[in-house]
């Protein structure tokens, strides 16, 4: 039977190591450490190990004769680097040794990675090596490694080299390797005590200090062993060379406790002083482990999710939650960090911030809204830059960038490599102005769930209004149509960068963008009414937002153009005129055609000519808005959406999408859940497998897909339960297949910890004891009051 708390790999597979690396990361929202970087790595340079939140560096490169800037999340020094050898033989190398057994296990409940190897060297000596590692969720600056060596059939000299390695680069993503990947310069190394070393480096452009200190001790039979200690001090590599006598069958345990501080941490004097001060305070591996496990236990209570009959699914969902919480957590609340697309521990997209939070916040809002608040403030702090961007583009308000760099400027690459053709091509994807819609939507959702008026007054309202203002300014009046239009943008579907012949110039009237722009404008106006009069007055004055402009918003929100063809929503104006692609022919020829754009470009064709989407675009409307709400928004715009138009629209685009983004499966299963359970289930499986099965064939090794991971959890928590929070009530409309048994999960709502339990034939909500005010729960028209400590149930 599947253990829903353990991800296990048996046998070593050098080919698959990248995916395992990514999936077996341990982290705490501040530091993330990939799987196999230590002595066993097939290729150390590609798995450098350690990532830290909030450190970015910008470097210049020349590509195709042009100077391009390249901002990357900085890879921290590798704290794991530890090797061993016997009797002066060669250092252990997994690719040369004879591996008798290999077992790797990520304990999800405790967020501990364990690897166990039995190896035989060229001299025939058998050694078992058991390694445990954690990145403390309790003390955010601490990581710990424990390696136990058992000489099964030999006695002799065991040498262990345990170092901190600052020579790492950002080299994980093959197609970026032509770009500068060296970000760290050595400041100093030190040996403050016999057991400990210090490595201090600095990012070579942003000048952020990083200090790492390690305490390395050896234990055997419950007692401290004092090995012969030599110091390794080779440039930016510092550590210990330990030599000791090992005896047949007698385990020897190495403990390496590491602290990490950066110059961007609050509450520090300077990083090296803190790294050294905290090192002796941390106790032993098991002390750290105990507190770490307790912290995770509390997190798992807060993120509780179980399905009676389906341990395999539960395991994947928990793996997804683990990755979410090792990318952002209460440990990152104080840092100026956003939600990177590939987590903290993937180098793809270089740590830039896209729109992924749109798929992630629903999971966080209902459990740790204080974290969502912190992440929204990350955007708020970049509002000034978004204002400048809008102004420079000739608009007003705030234009958030598609790929947000550390200071909130656009970091979208100007050139992008097509690995299929080998061409570096211009990249106009920054035309995805819809990222601002995601920010506004998230502000609104956060406020709806929390009723946090102080946030709205000081930050949220300003963000909503400035984003609304941008849409009010980019929209232009089309006299012929008598409607407002938005030209030259891109929708979520990144295949369509422009019309044939004008490939870089964007498309006009993307339905998703225009409908949501109307929604944003109306929420902006609504927010003004939510503010106390004095705050409203101040904000209007500060933003110099006058009646005339607000009236213009009202008009635009009523009269934006939305394209339709054949009774369905057109993805954008002119979509209908594009060619149909011979999907079967391409599937036959290429197999995987998720990145159809690259295939066509390599054929000297362009995907812009075809009715072919990379991912859900128009269908995003059905994901963000309920059918009722979408009908209302379109109605406000003067369009009617007949009931039969919804399934027609869904099928139309399903048939024309290559799913080149992992987000596609989330949206498609969502939109199909109510109407076609069977087909929805296919997409659910795809969403669940995006990373564990690496369905894009190699992208997982470059970093997990965080939005897809969180989105898969959201499918269970909101889509299948029909969970909605509106009008101060909690609504449930479950569509949950009876054969799957009961699904249970925990949320926080208005201060109540709630447990929802959904069977095929009934739904129950249990409130934890407390002194909060009662809430109202509604299921299919039936309203029930729920008091702390009580339970309500509804038969279905």
Binding characters for a second copy, 449-468, by CB under 8 A (x = yes): -x-xxx---x----------
- Of the listed pieces 176-184, 354-362, 609-617, 768-776, which binds a second copy according to CB under 8 A? 768-776
Task: Work out which of 14, 185, 250, 294 binds a second copy, going by CB under 8 A.
Answer: 294
Q: Tell whether residue 480 is a contact of a second copy (CB under 8 A).
A: no
Q: Tell whether residue 109 is a contact of a second copy (CB under 8 A).
A: no
Q: Tell whether residue 369 is a contact of a second copy (CB under 8 A).
A: yes
Q: Tell whether residue 287 is a contact of a second copy (CB under 8 A).
A: no
Q: Tell whether residue 166 is a contact of a second copy (CB under 8 A).
A: no
Q: Tell whether residue 206 is a contact of a second copy (CB under 8 A).
A: yes
Q: Record the tokens describing residue 412, joined without a space.
A: 């979208």
Q: Record the tokens describing residue 592, joined without a space.
A: 């995987």
Distance from CA of residue 484 to its chain's centroid? Answer: 35
Mind spelling out the 3-state secondary structure of 504-565? CCEECCCHHHHHHHHHHHHHHHHHHHHCCHHHHHHHHHHHCCCHHHHHHHHHHHHHECCCEE
Residue with smaller CB distance to a second copy, 160 or 299: 299
Q: What are phi and psi of 232, to 5 degrees?
A: -95, 120
Q: Tell whether residue 188 is a contact of a second copy (CB under 8 A).
A: no
Q: Record the tokens describing residue 603, joined without a space.
A: 């054929």
CA atoms within 13 A on the CB side of 494: 18
CA distances from 699 to 122, 418, 491, 662, 790 (A): 36, 14, 23, 10, 46
Residue with smaller CB distance to a second copy, 450 or 613: 450
Minimum Å gap between C-beta 407 and a second copy is 4
Q: Tell whether residue 185 is a contact of a second copy (CB under 8 A).
A: no
Q: Tell whether residue 289 is a contact of a second copy (CB under 8 A).
A: no
Residue with smaller CB distance to a second copy, 384 or 426: 384
**Residues that contact a second copy, how many (by CB under 8 A):** 65
Q: Tell whether residue 597 is a contact of a second copy (CB under 8 A).
A: no
Q: Tell whether residue 274 is a contact of a second copy (CB under 8 A).
A: yes
Q: Return the sign of the alpha-carbon dihedral for residues 441, 443, 444, 445.
A: positive
Minimum Å gap between C-beta 429 and a second copy is 21
H helices of 143-284, in order, are 271-278
> Is residue 663 within 8 Å of 615, Cβ to Cβ?
yes
**H/E run at residue 500:** none
- Of the listed pieces 423-431, 641-649, 688-696, 766-774, which binds a second copy according to CB under 8 A? 766-774
Q: Tell whether residue 170 is a contact of a second copy (CB under 8 A).
A: no
Q: What are phi and psi of 561, to 5 degrees?
A: -80, 135
Flag whether 140 is marked binding.
no
Q: Record the tokens describing residue 582, joined without a space.
A: 């011979």
Please give the angle made by the CA atoms of 29, 35 and 41, to the nearest 5 degrees: 145
Task: Work out which of 46, 110, 132, 209 binds a second copy, going by CB under 8 A.
Answer: 209
Binding characters for a second copy, 24-63, by CB under 8 A (x = yes): --------------------------------x-x-----
- Of the listed pieces 4-12, 259-267, 680-688, 698-706, which binds a second copy according to CB under 8 A? 259-267
Beta bridge partners of 160: 84, 242
Task: Work out which of 3, 87, 233, 334 binds a second copy, going by CB under 8 A.
Answer: 334
Task: Work out which of 229, 381, 558, 674 binds a second copy, going by CB under 8 A.
Answer: 381
Distance from CA of residue 139 to its chain's centroid? Answer: 22
Long-range CB contacts (< 8 A, 24+ apart) of 294-299? 294/138, 295/136, 295/137, 295/138, 296/109, 296/110, 296/111, 296/137, 297/109, 299/137, 299/325, 299/329
Minimum Å gap between C-beta 663 and a second copy is 26
Q: What are phi and psi of 718, to 5 degrees?
A: -110, -40
Q: Tell whether residue 573 is a contact of a second copy (CB under 8 A).
A: no
Give me the active site residues, please.
494
CA distances from 222 to 150, 218, 398 (A): 15, 10, 61
Residue with smaller CB distance to a second copy, 334 or 776: 334
Minimum Å gap between C-beta 207 and a second copy is 5
- Of the listed pieces 267-275, 344-352, 575-583, 653-661, which binds a second copy according to CB under 8 A? 267-275
Q: Tell whether residue 357 is a contact of a second copy (CB under 8 A).
A: no
Q: Tell whether residue 526 is a contact of a second copy (CB under 8 A).
A: no
Q: Given the DSSP bridges, would you call strands 775-779 and 729-732 parallel, antiparallel or unpaired?
A: parallel
Flag whether 504 is marked binding.
no
Q: Is 296 helix (H, G, I), strand (E, B) or coil?
A: helix
Q: Which of 22, 26, 5 lies closest to 137, judged by CA?
A: 26
Write out the binding residues for substrate. 355-356, 614-615
User: Which positions lie near a second copy, rule CB under 8 A?
Assistant: 56, 58, 71, 139, 202, 205-209, 263-264, 266-270, 273-274, 281, 294-295, 298, 301, 330, 334, 336, 369-370, 377-378, 381-382, 384-385, 388, 405-409, 450, 452-454, 458, 529-535, 538, 541-542, 751-753, 768-772, 788
Write out the binding residues. 355-356, 614-615
């Amino acid at each position: 039977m599947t253990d829903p708390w353990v991800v296990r790999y048996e046998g070593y597979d050098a080919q698959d190591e990248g995916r395992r690396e990514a999936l077996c990361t341990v982290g705490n929202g501040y530091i993330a450490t990939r799987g196999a970087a230590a002595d066993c790595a097939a290729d150390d340079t590609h798995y450098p190990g350690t990532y830290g939140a909030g450190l970015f560096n910008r470097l210049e490169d020349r590509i195709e004769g042009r100077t391009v800037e390249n901002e990357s999340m900085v890879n921290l020094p590798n704290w794991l680097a530890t090797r061993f050898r016997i009797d002066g033989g060669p250092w252990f190398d997994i690719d040369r040794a004879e591996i008798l057994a290999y077992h790797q296990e990520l304990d999800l409940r405790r967020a501990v990675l364990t690897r166990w190897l039995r190896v035989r060297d060229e001299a025939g000596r058998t050694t078992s090596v058991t390694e445990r590692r954690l990145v403390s969720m309790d003390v955010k600056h601490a990581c710990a490694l424990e390696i136990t060596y058992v000489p099964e059939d030999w006695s002799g000299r065991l040498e262990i080299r345990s170092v901190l390695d600052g020579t790492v680069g950002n080299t994980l993503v093959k197609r970026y390797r032509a770009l500068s990947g060296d970000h760290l310069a050595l400041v100093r190394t030190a040996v403050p005590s016999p057991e400990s070393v210090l490595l201090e480096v600095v990012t070579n452009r942003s000048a952020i200090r990083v200090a790492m200190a390690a305490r390395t001790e050896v234990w055997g039979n419950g007692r401290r062993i004092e090995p012969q200690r030599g110091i390794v001090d080779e440039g930016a590599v510092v550590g210990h060379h330990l030599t000791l006598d090992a005896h047949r069958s007698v385990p020897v345990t190495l403990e390496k406790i590491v602290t990490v501080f950066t110059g961007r941490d609050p509450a520090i004097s300077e990083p090296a002083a803190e790294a050294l001060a905290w090192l002796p305070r941390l106790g032993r591996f098991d002390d750290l482990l105990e507190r770490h496990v307790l912290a995770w236990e509390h997190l798992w209570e807060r993120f509780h999710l179980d399905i009676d009959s389906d341990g395999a699914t539960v395991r994947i969902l928990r793996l997804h939650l683990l990755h979410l919480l090792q990318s952002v957590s209460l440990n990152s609340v104080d840092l100026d960090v956003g939600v990177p697309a590939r987590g903290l521990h993937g180098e793809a997209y270089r740590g830039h911030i896209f729109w992924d939070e749109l798929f992630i916040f629903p999971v966080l809002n209902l459990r740790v809204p204080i974290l969502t608040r912190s992440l929204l403030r990350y955007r708020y702090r970049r509002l000034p830059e978004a204002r400048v961007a809008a102004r420079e583009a000739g608009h007003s308000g705030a234009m958030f960038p598609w790929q947000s760099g550390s200071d909130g400027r656009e970091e979208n690459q100007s050139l992008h490599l097509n690995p299929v053709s080998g061409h570096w091509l211009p990249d106009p994807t920054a035309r995805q102005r819809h990222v601002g819609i995601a920010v506004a939507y998230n502000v609104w959702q956060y406020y709806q769930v929390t009723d946090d008026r102080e946030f709205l007054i000081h930050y949220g309202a300003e963000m909503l209004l400035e984003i609304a203002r941008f849409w009010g300014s980019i929209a232009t009046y089309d006299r012929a149509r008598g409607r407002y239009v938005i030209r030259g943008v891109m929708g979520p579907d990144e295949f369509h960068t422009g019309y044939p012949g004008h490939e870089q110039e964007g498309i006009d009237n993307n339905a998703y963008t225009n409908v949501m722009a109307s929604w944003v404008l109306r929420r902006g106006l609504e927010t003004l009414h939510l503010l106390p009069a004095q705050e409203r007055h101040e904000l209007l004055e500060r933003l110099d937002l006058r009646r005339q402009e607000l009236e213009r918003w009202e008009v635009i929100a009523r009269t934006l153009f939305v394209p339709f063809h054949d009774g369905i929503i057109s993805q954008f104006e002119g979509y209908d005129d594009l060619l149909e692609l011979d999907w079967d022919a391409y599937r036959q020829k290429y197999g995987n055609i998720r990145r159809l754009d690259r295939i066509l470009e390599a054929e000297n064709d362009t995907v812009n000519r075809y009715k072919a989407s990379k991912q859900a675009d128009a269908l995003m409307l059905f994901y963000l808005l309920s059918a009722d709400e979408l009908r209302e928004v379109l109605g406000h715009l003067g369009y009617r959406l007949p009931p039969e138009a919804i399934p027609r629209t869904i099928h139309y685009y399903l048939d024309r999408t290559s799913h080149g983004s992992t987000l596609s499966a989330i949206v498609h299963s969502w939109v199909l859940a109510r109407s076609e359970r069977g087909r929805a289930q296919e997409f659910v499986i795809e969403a669940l497998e995006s990373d564990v099965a690496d369905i894009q064939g190699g992208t997982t090794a470059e970093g997990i897909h965080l939005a897809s991971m969180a989105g898969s959890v959201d499918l269970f928590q909101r889509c299948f339960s029909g969970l909605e929070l509106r009008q101060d009530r909690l609504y449930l409309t479950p569509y949950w297949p009876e054969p799957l048994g009961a699904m249970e999960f925990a949320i926080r709502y208005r201060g109540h910890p709630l447990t929802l339990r959904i069977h095929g034939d009934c739904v129950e909500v249990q409130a934890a004891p407390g002194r909060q005010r009662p809430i109202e729960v509604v299921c299919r028209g039936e309203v029930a009051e729920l008091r702390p400590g009580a339970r309500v149930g509804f038969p279905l």
